Chain A
Amino acid sequence: MKDLVEYIACSLVENPKQVRVNQERVGGRIQISLQVARDDMGRIIGKSGRVANAMRVLLRVAAARENKQASLDVIEPR
């Protein structure tokens, strides 16, 4: 699941080296957090969150294949 997010993020940003994806299990859910360079935030979120939401839809399918639930958070770079 992590690699799906990673692939999409790296393909869309200008700075693929700064893409960080973390996968954590919280209870029965999988939480994936994505961090990209500040300049790339817009590319990953999109207008009204359209890109991030499309990633969530695809992530949901990937998770469902393993009978799991997953969520995606885009984290503000420090």
Chain B
Amino acid sequence: MDEKTTLEMIAPTVEEAIERGLDQLGLPRDAVDIEVMDSGNKGLFGLGGRQARVRLTLLPYGIHDSNKKETTTVPELKPIKQEPVITAPTKVDYNDPVLDLVSNVVRELLEKMKVNATVSASYQTNKEIEGEEKFILVDIQGQDLSILIGKRSETLNALQYITSLILNKELGRWQPIIIDVQGYRNRRERQLRQMARRMADQALQSGRRQVLEPMPANERRYIHLELRDHPDVITESTGEEPNRKVTISKRSNN
């Protein structure tokens, strides 16, 4: 990799901007020099805030500069696990024909939807699943892209579905992809996992079954994953798509 490479990332918080940048580069934190250019402004309830901006510069291989460690702390509701969220990027592939193909499909769709954004794609590995599942992450960056997420991430999922159909037809084989906008999926995953914990506590305290709001399959999965090793609760999905919901209830001991 070129050692002069720099990457600027913009995200709601400094922490997220760094995370996204590292994700995109596929590098651990100590392999880059992190410069906070704008720590952003949260605004009221996340409204009217300014986005944080960081610049990541690749360090030559093997040099870890501990003095440049990120010191900004981001208040989190309740830190649950500090392990990396889902993905362990393997490598950044340039000029891979499949990545080019999928990026072009997404670009074409966005252009025809009159949405202005930049698209990049990379291979990722999902560590949480046994056997390691390799998938393509298509990342969309730009201004005012909430329209691409939609209610209950409906638009994002539609875009992902159509793109994967086109890609699979083109390739003649099944290639898993995930489309993300402005780090939404990671953010949402963290939210869902926190909510899972909270609802599990509530289920135990009240003794009553907790029914979550309807969610698409990929989001329900995070709830199940987060609580699958929980000793005292069980999770279950009930109802029919698109109103399928996760329920969390106390594990009966018998």
Q: Is B154's CB within 8 Å of the partner chain A?
A: yes
- Taking chain B's interface residues, is the majority helix, strand, or loop, or is none over half, making it mixed? helix
- Report whether B158 and A57 are in contact in the complex, using a CB–CB cutoff of 8 Å: yes
* Distance to closest chain A CB from B144 (angstroms): 11
B156 — nearest CB in chain A belongs to which residue? A57
- Report whether A54 and B162 are in contact in the complex, using a CB–CB cutoff of 8 Å: yes
Q: Is A66's CB within 8 Å of the partner chain B?
A: yes
Write out, one digit per residue, whether chain A residues 40-74 have a CB within 8 A of any chain B CB (1) or not (0): 00000000001101110110011011100000000
Chain A residue numbers with a CB within 8 Å of B105 are: 11
Q: Is B238's CB within 8 Å of the partner chain A?
A: no
> Using a Cβ–Cβ cut-off of 8 Å, how many residues does chain B contribute to the interface with A?
21
Chain A residue numbers with a CB within 8 Å of B162 are: 8, 51, 54-55, 58
- Inter-chain CA distance A2–B165, complex, in Å, is 19
Q: Is B159's CB within 8 Å of the partner chain A?
A: yes
- Report whether A8 and B109 are in contact in the complex, using a CB–CB cutoff of 8 Å: yes
Write out, one digit per residue, whether chain B residues 147-169 have a CB within 8 A of any chain A CB (1) or not (0): 11010001101110110011001
- Select one of A3, A7, A51, A65 contacting B165, CB under 8 A: A51
- The stretch among B87-95, B111-119, B208-216 that forms the contact with chain A is B111-119
- Report whether B158 and A58 are in contact in the complex, using a CB–CB cutoff of 8 Å: yes
Write out, one digit per residue, whether chain B residues 121-159 have a CB within 8 A of any chain A CB (1) or not (0): 000000000000000000000000001101000110111
* Distance to closest chain A CB from B161 (angstroms): 5
Chain B residue numbers with a CB within 8 Å of A58 are: 109, 113, 155, 158-159, 162
Q: A8-B166, A11-B166, A12-B165 are in contact. Are A57 and B154 (CB under 8 A)?
A: yes
- How many residue pairs link A and B with beta carbons under 8 A? The number is 53
- Inter-chain CA distance A12–B161, complex, in Å, is 12
B165 — nearest CB in chain A belongs to which residue? A12
Q: Is B108's CB within 8 Å of the partner chain A?
A: yes
- Select one of B112, B159, B161 contacting A50, CB under 8 A: B161
Chain A residue numbers with a CB within 8 Å of B154 are: 57
- Report whether A64 and B147 are in contact in the complex, using a CB–CB cutoff of 8 Å: yes
- Inter-chain CA distance A53–B157, complex, in Å, is 11
Q: Is A75's CB within 8 Å of the partner chain B?
A: no
* Distance to closest chain A CB from B183 (angstroms): 20
- Report whether B150 and A57 are in contact in the complex, using a CB–CB cutoff of 8 Å: yes
* Distance to closest chain B CB from A38 (angstroms): 18
- Report whether B114 and A12 are in contact in the complex, using a CB–CB cutoff of 8 Å: no
* Distance to closest chain A CB from B1 (angstroms): 34
Across the A-B interface, give the 10 residue pairs with the lowest CB-CB distance, nearest first: A57-B158, A54-B158, A4-B112, A65-B114, A62-B113, A11-B166, A54-B161, A54-B162, A61-B113, A3-B112
Given contacts A4-B112, A50-B161, A57-B154, could you give 12 more A-B pairs where the C-beta distance is less than 8 Å? Answer: A3-B112, A8-B166, A11-B166, A12-B166, A54-B158, A57-B158, A58-B113, A58-B158, A61-B113, A61-B147, A62-B114, A66-B114
Residues of A within 8 A of B (CB): 3-4, 7-8, 11-12, 50-51, 53-55, 57-58, 61-62, 64-66
